[in-house]
Amino acid sequence: MAKSKYDEAQLHELLYQALETEAGGIEIYETAISCAANDDLKEEWSGYLKETRGHHKKLMEVFDKLGIDPEKQTPGRKVVAHIGRSLVKAMEMAREEGDADAAQLVAGECVVLAETKDHMNWELIGHVAQNSSGDTAKILKEAYEAVEQDEDHHLYHTTGWTRELWIDALGFPAVVPPPEEVKNVETAIGAARAENARGEML
């Protein structure tokens, strides 16, 4: 594959947004866990919280190796922080209403929204690593490979959980834990296949 020169300023912007996403993700998972009524889901998210803390640490190492100031604020980073705070607030609002099942659904949706951004950040970091060369590419590649599988699990498995909890709330038979969890999917294709197979698991 041909290597091309990336835009360094935009790469730094991506890294700032990724770092802010992970920092916000820690608070999002802490709040989501407090909204989880299902013990299996609470355990799942507790594991993801631990991994998210590890991802934040991994990105801090990237910043250190690249000589980038992790405290610098950019317009994009501020937006990411605002969205993260908004998701936490949404879960707190739902929890305060007193309906545990409804709060759990809101938490699932908020985690999916946060993990969609998080997953895309890491896909883009991986894209830079795979389509460039030099020390920066090596640093990004090492970080990407360390977290890629975790990020797949966070997004696809929580999407499955949220779908099945909604199906249950609607009064239909649900698969809990969801097919994505049972089949331990790690790709978008695997997630689609797992969802298609849910009828066989009822």
Task: For residue 32, tell me if it sits in a domain.
Answer: yes
Amino acid at 162: T
pLDDT of residue 5: 84
Q: What span, in angstroms and rounded, lies between the C-alpha atoms of 91 and 117?
A: 18
- Residue range 95-145, pLDDT digits in tens: 999 999 999 999 999 999 999 999 999 999 999 999 999 999 999 999 999
Domain tally, the chain:
1
pLDDT value of position 199: 84
Contact 173, 202 (CB under 8 A): yes
The CATH number assigned to the domain holding 17 equals: 1.20.1260.10
Q: Is residue 168 part of a domain?
A: no
Global model pTM greater than 0.85: yes
Q: Is the pLDDT score of 88 beyond 60?
A: yes
172 located within any domain: no
72 is in which domain, residue-wise? Answer: 8-147
DSSP assignment of 42-56: HHHHHHHHHHHHHHH
